[in-house]
Protein backbone atom coordinates (compact mmCIF):
# COMPACT_ATOMS: atom_id res chain seq x y z
CA UNK A 1 0.00 0.00 0.00
CA UNK A 2 1.43 3.23 -1.06
CA UNK A 3 2.06 5.77 1.67
CA UNK A 4 0.17 9.00 1.78
CA UNK A 5 3.29 10.94 0.88
CA UNK A 6 3.73 8.99 -2.34
CA UNK A 7 0.23 9.64 -3.61
CA UNK A 8 0.38 11.19 -7.03
CA UNK A 9 -0.80 14.78 -6.84
CA UNK A 10 -2.67 16.43 -9.70
CA UNK A 11 -0.72 19.11 -11.49
CA UNK A 12 -1.96 22.60 -10.86
CA UNK A 13 -2.17 25.23 -13.53
CA UNK A 14 -0.19 28.36 -12.68
CA UNK A 15 -2.86 31.05 -12.99
CA UNK A 16 -0.27 33.80 -13.34
CA UNK A 17 0.86 32.33 -16.65
CA UNK A 18 -2.60 32.89 -18.12
CA UNK A 19 -3.19 36.38 -16.74
CA UNK A 20 -2.76 39.35 -19.02
CA UNK A 21 -0.45 42.06 -17.75
CA UNK A 22 -1.39 44.37 -20.62
CA UNK A 23 -3.94 47.19 -20.13
CA UNK A 24 -7.41 46.38 -21.44
CA UNK A 25 -10.45 48.53 -22.12
CA UNK A 26 -14.03 47.34 -22.64
CA UNK A 27 -17.20 49.06 -23.81
CA UNK A 28 -20.40 48.08 -21.98
CA UNK A 29 -23.60 48.14 -24.04
CA UNK A 30 -26.23 49.67 -21.70
CA UNK A 31 -29.09 47.93 -23.53
CA UNK A 32 -27.96 44.30 -23.44
CA UNK A 33 -25.18 44.86 -20.84
CA UNK A 34 -22.72 42.96 -22.97
CA UNK A 35 -19.04 43.92 -23.03
CA UNK A 36 -16.92 44.46 -26.09
CA UNK A 37 -13.17 44.84 -26.07
CA UNK A 38 -11.79 48.08 -27.51
CA UNK A 39 -8.64 47.73 -29.57
CA UNK A 40 -5.30 49.02 -28.36
CA UNK A 41 -3.52 51.02 -31.04
CA UNK A 42 -0.21 52.85 -31.59
CA UNK A 43 0.21 56.61 -31.14
CA UNK A 44 2.22 56.62 -34.37
CA UNK A 45 -0.60 55.01 -36.34
CA UNK A 46 -2.91 57.80 -35.15
CA UNK A 47 -0.43 60.45 -36.26
CA UNK A 48 0.31 61.70 -32.74
CA UNK A 49 3.72 63.19 -31.93
CA UNK A 50 5.62 63.41 -28.63
CA UNK A 51 6.00 67.18 -28.52
CA UNK A 52 3.05 68.39 -30.57
CA UNK A 53 0.48 66.13 -28.88
CA UNK A 54 1.49 64.05 -25.84
CA UNK A 55 3.56 66.84 -24.30
CA UNK A 56 0.68 69.32 -24.72
CA UNK A 57 -1.80 66.91 -23.11
CA UNK A 58 0.36 66.50 -20.04
CA UNK A 59 1.19 70.22 -19.80
CA UNK A 60 -2.51 71.10 -19.89
CA UNK A 61 -3.56 68.31 -17.53
CA UNK A 62 -0.62 66.91 -15.50
CA UNK A 63 -3.09 64.74 -13.56
CA UNK A 64 -2.71 62.35 -16.50
CA UNK A 65 0.46 61.20 -14.74
CA UNK A 66 -1.49 60.18 -11.64
CA UNK A 67 -0.54 62.88 -9.14
CA UNK A 68 -0.84 66.54 -8.26
CA UNK A 69 1.84 68.34 -10.27
CA UNK A 70 2.39 72.01 -11.11
CA UNK A 71 4.07 72.41 -14.51
CA UNK A 72 6.68 75.18 -14.37
CA UNK A 73 8.52 74.68 -17.64
CA UNK A 74 8.22 73.19 -21.11
CA UNK A 75 11.15 72.48 -23.42
CA UNK A 76 13.33 73.95 -20.67
CA UNK A 77 16.95 74.54 -21.71
CA UNK A 78 18.17 77.18 -19.26
CA UNK A 79 21.31 75.29 -18.19
CA UNK A 80 24.64 77.10 -18.12
CA UNK A 81 27.01 74.49 -19.63
CA UNK A 82 24.83 72.48 -21.97
CA UNK A 83 22.17 73.15 -24.59
CA UNK A 84 20.17 70.03 -23.68
CA UNK A 85 16.43 70.47 -23.42
CA UNK A 86 14.06 68.55 -21.14
CA UNK A 87 10.41 67.90 -22.06
CA UNK A 88 8.51 69.15 -18.99
CA UNK A 89 9.50 70.36 -15.54
CA UNK A 90 7.12 70.30 -12.58
CA UNK A 91 6.86 70.69 -8.82
CA UNK A 92 5.13 67.91 -6.88
CA UNK A 93 2.97 68.27 -3.78
CA UNK A 94 6.02 67.94 -1.50
CA UNK A 95 8.02 70.65 -3.28
CA UNK A 96 10.33 68.31 -5.19
CA UNK A 97 11.34 69.22 -8.73
CA UNK A 98 10.07 66.62 -11.18
CA UNK A 99 11.75 66.01 -14.54
CA UNK A 100 9.15 64.59 -16.95
CA UNK A 101 10.40 62.81 -20.05
CA UNK A 102 7.86 61.67 -22.64
CA UNK A 103 8.22 58.98 -25.28
CA UNK A 104 5.64 57.93 -27.80
CA UNK A 105 5.27 54.18 -28.37
CA UNK A 106 8.64 52.95 -27.11
CA UNK A 107 10.81 54.38 -24.35
CA UNK A 108 14.09 53.28 -25.94
CA UNK A 109 16.82 51.75 -23.79
CA UNK A 110 18.34 54.90 -22.31
CA UNK A 111 15.42 57.23 -21.49
CA UNK A 112 16.26 56.98 -17.79
CA UNK A 113 19.84 58.12 -18.34
CA UNK A 114 18.68 61.20 -20.23
CA UNK A 115 16.32 62.15 -17.39
CA UNK A 116 18.93 61.46 -14.68
CA UNK A 117 21.23 64.00 -16.33
CA UNK A 118 18.51 66.65 -16.28
CA UNK A 119 17.70 65.96 -12.63
CA UNK A 120 21.36 66.37 -11.72
CA UNK A 121 21.47 69.75 -13.50
CA UNK A 122 18.57 70.95 -11.31
CA UNK A 123 19.81 69.88 -7.90
CA UNK A 124 21.01 73.38 -6.96
CA UNK A 125 18.09 75.34 -8.38
CA UNK A 126 16.94 77.88 -5.79
CA UNK A 127 13.41 79.00 -4.94
CA UNK A 128 14.12 82.22 -6.89
CA UNK A 129 15.15 80.15 -9.93
CA UNK A 130 11.91 78.17 -9.75
CA UNK A 131 9.80 81.31 -9.39
CA UNK A 132 11.46 82.73 -12.51
CA UNK A 133 10.86 79.47 -14.42
CA UNK A 134 7.14 79.60 -13.63
CA UNK A 135 7.03 83.33 -14.40
CA UNK A 136 8.47 82.71 -17.87
CA UNK A 137 6.35 79.61 -18.52
CA UNK A 138 3.03 81.25 -17.66
CA UNK A 139 3.99 84.79 -18.78
CA UNK A 140 2.88 86.25 -15.47
CA UNK A 141 4.35 88.39 -12.71
CA UNK A 142 6.77 86.95 -10.16
CA UNK A 143 4.23 87.80 -7.43
CA UNK A 144 1.57 85.69 -9.17
CA UNK A 145 4.09 82.88 -9.64
CA UNK A 146 4.91 82.91 -5.90
CA UNK A 147 1.22 82.84 -5.03
CA UNK A 148 0.61 79.89 -7.38
CA UNK A 149 3.48 77.94 -5.83
CA UNK A 150 2.23 78.68 -2.30
CA UNK A 151 -1.24 77.44 -3.24
CA UNK A 152 0.19 74.30 -4.80
CA UNK A 153 2.33 73.50 -1.75
CA UNK A 154 -0.35 74.45 0.76
CA UNK A 155 2.24 76.46 2.65
CA UNK A 156 2.99 80.06 3.57
CA UNK A 157 6.62 80.03 2.42
CA UNK A 158 8.72 78.37 -0.28
CA UNK A 159 11.17 76.59 2.02
CA UNK A 160 10.03 73.17 0.73
CA UNK A 161 10.90 73.98 -2.90
CA UNK A 162 13.48 71.68 -4.49
CA UNK A 163 14.19 69.78 -1.29
CA UNK A 164 14.85 66.89 -3.68
CA UNK A 165 14.45 65.88 -7.33
CA UNK A 166 12.42 63.15 -8.99
CA UNK A 167 11.89 61.71 -12.46
CA UNK A 168 8.73 60.63 -14.27
CA UNK A 169 9.03 58.69 -17.52
CA UNK A 170 5.86 58.31 -19.59
CA UNK A 171 5.55 56.06 -22.61
CA UNK A 172 3.28 53.52 -24.29
CA UNK A 173 5.86 50.78 -23.64
CA UNK A 174 9.07 50.57 -21.62
CA UNK A 175 12.23 48.74 -22.56
CA UNK A 176 13.42 46.24 -19.91
CA UNK A 177 16.69 48.22 -19.66
CA UNK A 178 14.64 51.17 -18.36
CA UNK A 179 12.39 49.29 -15.93
CA UNK A 180 15.30 47.31 -14.50
CA UNK A 181 17.28 50.49 -13.89
CA UNK A 182 14.23 52.24 -12.37
CA UNK A 183 13.58 49.44 -9.88
CA UNK A 184 17.24 49.29 -8.88
CA UNK A 185 17.55 53.06 -8.45
CA UNK A 186 14.41 53.27 -6.33
CA UNK A 187 15.62 50.47 -4.08
CA UNK A 188 19.08 51.97 -3.64
CA UNK A 189 17.68 55.43 -2.98
CA UNK A 190 15.23 54.13 -0.35
CA UNK A 191 12.61 56.19 -2.18
CA UNK A 192 10.29 54.23 -4.43
CA UNK A 193 9.19 57.39 -6.24
CA UNK A 194 12.65 58.59 -7.28
CA UNK A 195 11.97 57.26 -10.78
CA UNK A 196 8.33 56.71 -11.71
CA UNK A 197 7.24 54.98 -14.92
CA UNK A 198 3.75 55.79 -16.23
CA UNK A 199 2.31 53.75 -19.08
CA UNK A 200 0.17 55.67 -21.58
CA UNK A 201 -1.93 53.25 -23.62
CA UNK A 202 -4.03 54.53 -26.55
CA UNK A 203 -7.29 52.83 -27.56
CA UNK A 204 -9.57 53.45 -30.52
CA UNK A 205 -13.28 52.66 -30.42
CA UNK A 206 -14.11 51.84 -34.04
CA UNK A 207 -17.85 52.05 -33.41
CA UNK A 208 -17.84 55.65 -32.16
CA UNK A 209 -14.44 56.68 -33.65
CA UNK A 210 -13.52 57.83 -30.12
CA UNK A 211 -9.92 57.83 -28.90
CA UNK A 212 -8.94 57.05 -25.32
CA UNK A 213 -5.70 57.09 -23.36
CA UNK A 214 -5.43 54.85 -20.31
CA UNK A 215 -2.71 55.74 -17.79
CA UNK A 216 -1.17 53.33 -15.33
CA UNK A 217 1.79 53.71 -12.97
CA UNK A 218 3.84 50.55 -13.39
CA UNK A 219 6.82 51.67 -11.27
CA UNK A 220 6.80 51.90 -8.32
CA UNK A 221 5.04 48.56 -8.14
CA UNK A 222 2.29 48.57 -5.48
CA UNK A 223 3.58 46.70 -2.45
CA UNK A 224 1.81 44.08 -0.44
CA UNK A 225 1.48 46.56 2.44
CA UNK A 226 -1.06 48.47 0.36
CA UNK A 227 -3.43 45.49 0.37
CA UNK A 228 -3.26 43.94 3.83
CA UNK A 229 -4.49 44.94 7.27
CA UNK A 230 -2.21 44.71 10.26
CA UNK A 231 -1.82 46.07 13.76
CA UNK A 232 -1.50 49.83 14.03
CA UNK A 233 1.86 51.04 15.30
CA UNK A 234 1.88 52.99 18.52
CA UNK A 235 2.22 56.68 17.58
CA UNK A 236 5.35 58.43 18.74
CA UNK A 237 5.01 61.39 21.03
CA UNK A 238 4.17 64.45 18.96
CA UNK A 239 6.25 67.56 19.55
CA UNK A 240 6.28 70.69 17.40
CA UNK A 241 10.05 71.26 17.56
CA UNK A 242 12.26 69.94 14.78
CA UNK A 243 16.04 70.01 14.96
CA UNK A 244 17.77 72.58 12.78
CA UNK A 245 19.70 69.92 10.91
CA UNK A 246 16.59 68.04 9.72
CA UNK A 247 16.05 68.13 5.97
CA UNK A 248 12.88 69.77 4.71
CA UNK A 249 11.93 66.60 2.84
CA UNK A 250 12.28 64.50 5.99
CA UNK A 251 10.16 67.00 7.91
CA UNK A 252 7.41 66.85 5.30
CA UNK A 253 7.44 63.03 5.29
CA UNK A 254 7.26 62.99 9.08
CA UNK A 255 4.46 65.55 9.32
CA UNK A 256 2.30 64.46 6.41
CA UNK A 257 0.14 61.97 8.30
CA UNK A 258 1.11 62.42 11.92
CA UNK A 259 -1.32 63.10 14.77
CA UNK A 260 -1.25 66.88 14.36
CA UNK A 261 -1.83 66.86 10.59
CA UNK A 262 -4.68 64.35 10.87
CA UNK A 263 -6.25 66.39 13.67
CA UNK A 264 -6.03 69.71 11.81
CA UNK A 265 -7.30 68.25 8.53
CA UNK A 266 -10.30 66.98 10.47
CA UNK A 267 -10.88 70.44 11.99
CA UNK A 268 -10.67 72.03 8.53
CA UNK A 269 -13.19 69.52 7.13
CA UNK A 270 -15.61 70.41 9.94
CA UNK A 271 -15.19 74.12 9.25
CA UNK A 272 -15.69 73.78 5.50
CA UNK A 273 -18.76 71.57 5.83
CA UNK A 274 -20.38 73.98 8.30
CA UNK A 275 -19.99 77.21 6.32
CA UNK A 276 -22.18 78.67 3.61
CA UNK A 277 -20.85 78.45 0.05
CA UNK A 278 -20.38 82.22 0.05
CA UNK A 279 -17.76 82.13 2.82
CA UNK A 280 -16.45 78.57 2.47
CA UNK A 281 -12.68 78.26 1.78
CA UNK A 282 -12.05 75.86 -1.09
CA UNK A 283 -8.35 75.15 -0.49
CA UNK A 284 -6.51 73.78 2.51
CA UNK A 285 -3.04 72.60 3.48
CA UNK A 286 -2.06 68.99 2.81
CA UNK A 287 -0.22 68.72 6.10
CA UNK A 288 0.61 70.78 9.18
CA UNK A 289 3.75 72.82 8.57
CA UNK A 290 6.43 73.27 11.20
CA UNK A 291 7.54 76.60 12.65
CA UNK A 292 10.12 77.13 15.39
CA UNK A 293 7.72 76.35 18.23
CA UNK A 294 4.35 75.52 16.68
CA UNK A 295 2.63 73.69 13.83
CA UNK A 296 0.53 75.68 11.38
CA UNK A 297 -2.34 74.86 9.05
CA UNK A 298 -3.94 77.07 6.38
CA UNK A 299 -7.28 77.44 4.65
CA UNK A 300 -7.81 79.83 1.73
CA UNK A 301 -9.73 80.57 -1.47
CA UNK A 302 -9.01 80.16 -5.18
CA UNK A 303 -11.91 82.33 -6.36
CA UNK A 304 -12.48 86.10 -6.56
CA UNK A 305 -11.92 88.19 -4.58
CA UNK A 306 -9.56 85.74 -3.00
CA UNK A 307 -7.58 84.18 -5.86
CA UNK A 308 -3.83 83.76 -5.54
CA UNK A 309 -3.76 83.18 -1.79
CA UNK A 310 -4.83 86.75 -0.92
CA UNK A 311 -6.87 85.75 2.12
CA UNK A 312 -5.77 82.81 4.26
CA UNK A 313 -7.15 81.69 7.62
CA UNK A 314 -4.76 79.82 9.86
CA UNK A 315 -4.49 77.63 12.92
CA UNK A 316 -1.24 77.79 14.88
CA UNK A 317 -1.09 74.83 17.26
CA UNK A 318 1.27 74.82 20.24
CA UNK A 319 2.07 72.00 22.65
CA UNK A 320 3.75 72.36 26.02
CA UNK A 321 4.52 69.74 28.63
CA UNK A 322 2.96 70.65 31.95
CA UNK A 323 3.32 68.21 34.87
CA UNK A 324 3.59 65.22 32.56
CA UNK A 325 0.46 66.20 30.62
CA UNK A 326 0.03 68.14 27.40
CA UNK A 327 -1.46 71.59 27.10
CA UNK A 328 -2.62 72.18 23.56
CA UNK A 329 -3.17 75.79 22.53
CA UNK A 330 -4.51 77.00 19.19
CA UNK A 331 -4.19 80.56 17.93
CA UNK A 332 -6.58 81.47 15.11
CA UNK A 333 -5.79 84.30 12.73
CA UNK A 334 -5.72 85.39 9.13
CA UNK A 335 -3.35 86.96 6.63
CA UNK A 336 -4.51 89.26 3.87
CA UNK A 337 -2.44 90.34 0.88
CA UNK A 338 -3.66 92.76 -1.75
CA UNK A 339 -1.43 95.49 -3.15
CA UNK A 340 -4.53 97.35 -4.34
CA UNK A 341 -5.72 98.03 -0.80
CA UNK A 342 -3.39 100.12 1.29
CA UNK A 343 -3.76 100.88 4.96
CA UNK A 344 -5.96 97.84 5.50
CA UNK A 345 -5.12 97.83 9.19
CA UNK A 346 -6.44 101.37 9.56
CA UNK A 347 -9.67 100.67 7.67
CA UNK A 348 -10.70 97.47 9.44
CA UNK A 349 -13.00 98.19 12.35
CA UNK A 350 -12.78 96.18 15.52
CA UNK A 351 -14.10 92.73 14.74
CA UNK A 352 -16.30 91.32 17.46
CA UNK A 353 -16.18 87.56 17.07
CA UNK A 354 -17.81 86.78 20.39
CA UNK A 355 -19.02 89.11 23.13
CA UNK A 356 -15.73 88.82 25.00
CA UNK A 357 -13.40 88.41 22.01
CA UNK A 358 -12.32 91.26 19.76
CA UNK A 359 -9.95 91.51 16.85
CA UNK A 360 -8.25 94.89 16.55
CA UNK A 361 -6.25 94.43 13.34
CA UNK A 362 -5.35 91.75 10.78
CA UNK A 363 -2.45 90.43 12.83
CA UNK A 364 -4.37 89.70 16.03
CA UNK A 365 -5.18 86.10 16.90
CA UNK A 366 -7.92 84.47 18.90
CA UNK A 367 -6.80 82.03 21.57
CA UNK A 368 -8.45 78.64 21.99
CA UNK A 369 -6.94 76.41 24.66
CA UNK A 370 -7.47 72.76 25.53
CA UNK A 371 -5.83 70.95 28.40
CA UNK A 372 -5.49 67.21 28.37
CA UNK A 373 -3.44 64.32 27.05
CA UNK A 374 -4.97 64.17 23.59
CA UNK A 375 -6.06 66.20 20.61
CA UNK A 376 -9.55 64.97 21.34
CA UNK A 377 -13.04 65.31 19.87
CA UNK A 378 -14.03 68.07 22.27
CA UNK A 379 -11.06 70.23 21.30
CA UNK A 380 -11.72 69.61 17.59
CA UNK A 381 -15.36 70.71 17.93
CA UNK A 382 -14.47 73.86 19.90
CA UNK A 383 -11.72 74.78 17.47
CA UNK A 384 -13.89 74.19 14.38
CA UNK A 385 -16.83 76.16 15.77
CA UNK A 386 -14.64 79.12 16.74
CA UNK A 387 -12.82 79.18 13.39
CA UNK A 388 -16.08 78.93 11.44
CA UNK A 389 -17.47 81.88 13.40
CA UNK A 390 -14.22 83.74 12.82
CA UNK A 391 -14.44 83.21 9.03
CA UNK A 392 -18.12 84.24 8.99
CA UNK A 393 -17.27 87.55 10.70
CA UNK A 394 -13.98 88.45 8.99
CA UNK A 395 -14.72 87.53 5.35
CA UNK A 396 -17.76 89.78 4.71
CA UNK A 397 -16.07 92.70 6.48
CA UNK A 398 -13.05 92.53 4.16
CA UNK A 399 -15.37 92.13 1.16
CA UNK A 400 -17.08 95.38 2.17
CA UNK A 401 -13.72 97.15 2.28
CA UNK A 402 -12.68 95.74 -1.12
CA UNK A 403 -15.99 96.59 -2.78
CA UNK A 404 -15.92 100.06 -1.23
CA UNK A 405 -12.37 100.63 -2.45
CA UNK A 406 -13.31 99.47 -5.96
CA UNK A 407 -16.34 101.79 -6.00
CA UNK A 408 -14.17 104.75 -4.97
CA UNK A 409 -11.63 104.00 -7.67
CA UNK A 410 -14.17 103.53 -10.44
Q: Output the CA–CA distances (angstroms, integers) from residue 185 to 168, 200, 219, 225, in the order listed.
A: 13, 22, 11, 20
Which of 76-85, 269-278, 321-330 has the weakest average pLDDT? 321-330
Domain co-membership, 183 together with 262: no
- Residue 99 CA to residue 133 CA, distance in Å, equals 13
Under DSSP, the state recorded for 45 is G
Domain co-membership, 286 together with 322: yes
The answer to whether residue 29 is domain-embedded is: no
- Residue 26 CA to residue 18 CA, distance in Å, equals 19
Q: Is the pLDDT higher at 285 or at 192?
A: 285
> Pairing between strand 210-219 and 195-205?
antiparallel
The answer to whether residue 210 is domain-embedded is: yes
Nearby residues of 363 by Cβ (< 8 Å), 6 or more positions away? 333, 345
Domain co-membership, 169 together with 275: no
Is residue 133 predicted with pLDDT exceeding 70? yes
What domain range includes position 204?
44-226
Is residue 66 predicted with pLDDT exceeding 80? yes
Domain co-membership, 189 together with 284: no
Domain co-membership, 268 together with 341: yes
pLDDT in tens, 1-59: 344 344 444 455 555 455 556 789 999 988 888 999 999 999 999 999 998 999 999 99
Domain co-membership, 57 together with 199: yes
Q: How many domains does the chain have?
A: 2
Query: What pLDDT shows up at residue 337?
Result: 66
Query: What pLDDT shows up at residue 40?
Result: 93
Domain co-membership, 210 together with 253: no
Please name every residue paired with 199 in a beta bridge, in sequence order, or none if there are none. Answer: 171, 216
Domain co-membership, 253 together with 214: no
**Where would I find the H helices in 227-258?**
248-255
Domain co-membership, 194 together with 283: no
- Residue 34 CA to residue 31 CA, distance in Å, equals 8
Q: What is the mean pLDDT of residues 120-131?
A: 94
3-state class of 248 per DSSP? helix
Is residue 210 predicted with pLDDT exceeding 80? yes
Query: What pLDDT shows up at residue 21?
Result: 64
Domain co-membership, 188 together with 317: no
Is residue 215 predicted with pLDDT exceeding 90? yes
- HSE-CB at 217 with a 13 A cutoff on CA atoms is 17
Domain co-membership, 178 together with 89: yes
Q: Is the pLDDT higher at 49 or at 375?
A: 49
Structural domain ending residue among the three candidates 169, 193, 226: 226
Of the candidates 51, 35, 34, which has an alpha carbon nearest to the alpha carbon of residue 43?
A: 51
Query: What pLDDT shows up at residue 213?
Result: 94
3-state class of 181 per DSSP? helix
Domain co-membership, 212 together with 306: no
Is residue 181 predicted with pLDDT exceeding 90? yes
Going through 245-388 in order, the beta strands assigned E by DSSP cover 283-284, 289-290, 295-300, 311-322, 325-336, 351-354, 357-359, 366-371
Query: What pLDDT shows up at residue 343?
Result: 45
The answer to whether residue 121 is domain-embedded is: yes
Amino acid sequence: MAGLGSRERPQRCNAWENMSAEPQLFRINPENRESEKIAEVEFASLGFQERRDIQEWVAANPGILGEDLLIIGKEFSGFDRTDERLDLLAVDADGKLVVIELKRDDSGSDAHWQAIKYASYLQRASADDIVRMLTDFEAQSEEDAVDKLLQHLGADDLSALNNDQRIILASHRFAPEVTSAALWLNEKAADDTLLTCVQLTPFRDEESCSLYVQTNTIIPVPGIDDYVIGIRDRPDEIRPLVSKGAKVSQTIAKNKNDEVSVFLRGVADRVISGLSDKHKPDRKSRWAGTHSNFRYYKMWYSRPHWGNYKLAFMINLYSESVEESDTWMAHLGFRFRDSGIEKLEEEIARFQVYEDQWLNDPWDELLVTSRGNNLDESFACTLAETLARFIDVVTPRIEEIIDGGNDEGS
